Amino acid sequence: EIVLTQSPGTLSLSPGERATLSCRASQSISNYQLAWYQQKPGQAPRLLIYAASSRPTGIPDRFSGSGSGTDFTLTISRLEPEDFAVYYCQQYGSSSLTFGGGTKVEIK
Amino acid sequence: QVQLVQSGAEVRKPGASVKVSCRTSGYSFTVYYIQWVRQAPGQGLEWMGWINPNSGSTNYAQKFQGRVTMTRDTSISTVYMELTRLTSDDTAVYYCARAPSRLTYFDHGGQGTLVTVSS
């Protein structure tokens, strides 16, 4: 099973700042098979990024993903008030899908 | 629009079973897989498995094998997840989610169903 480690656990930032979230895998993830989700309290996770760097229709371009192999990054270029939430990475490069433990982006 | 609507909250005693439904609409039911993911209170996300609504084939995470069964009813575009031999560790919000294929991300999710296991 591929273990995903997200860092930092909590990121304290102000609106307008740049957020950089990390997701590190215990083994290489093939074919960029990594997704990022945003979750707000009481809501289901929302897909932000798939295939490491692709954005679904409707996701603002301030969200971007990068990386390959074992190291992936989600960047929020300028935080909007609605971006304060918990973010999870997920790998789907193996037969057992796994999630990272999450990064909470909170208002400083 | 794509919708996945789950059944309501459930309370069960340890050792009992629970069956959660996920009614879909707004897309072709048999084209997309359905995954199930759960989230214990204050915890992260845990993948449970998937079902192919077209064929009924399933794949379960090793942790849940022998305790989970995913089924579907194509006549009403609904998927079910049944979990047996419940313990307090199974207290969680259970989500169904639509996925483009069997091993992939999910692009739409249900609202979640809280299952509480308590004596």
- For B34-91, the pLDDT digits (tens) are 999 999 999 999 999 999 999 999 999 999 999 999 999 999 999 999 999 999 999 9
The pLDDT value given to residue A95: 84
pLDDT band at B102 (very low <50, low <70, confident <90, very high): confident
The pLDDT value given to residue B95: 98
A100 touching chain B per CB within 8 A: yes
Choose the closest CB to B105 out of A92, A96, A98.
Answer: A92
Q: Does the pLDDT value for residue A30 go beyond 90?
A: no
Choose the closest CB to B106 out of A47, A93, A101.
Answer: A47
B34 touching chain A per CB within 8 A: no
pLDDT in tens, B59-71: 999 999 999 999 9
Contacts of A58 (CB under 8 A, 6+ apart): none
Q: Does the pLDDT value for residue B103 go beyond 90?
A: no
Question: 10 Å Cβ neighbour count for B37?
Answer: 27
Choose the closest CB to B45 out of A33, A50, A99.
Answer: A99
A33 touching chain B per CB within 8 A: yes
Angle at B81 between CA B78 and CA B84, to 5 degrees: 150
How close is the nearest chain A Cα to the Cα of B106, in Å?
7
CA distances in angstroms from B111 to A12, A44, A89, B68, listed in the order given: 28, 6, 20, 20
How close is the nearest chain A Cα to the Cα of B95, in Å?
7
Amino acid letter at B117?
V
Amino acid letter at B69?
T
Amino acid letter at B92?
A
Angle at A99 between CA A105 and CA A34, to 5 degrees: 90
In chain B, the residue whose alpha carbon lies closest to the alpha carbon of A5 is B44
- The residue behind tokens 């609202």 is B111
In chain A, the residue whose alpha carbon lies closest to the alpha carbon of B95 is A44
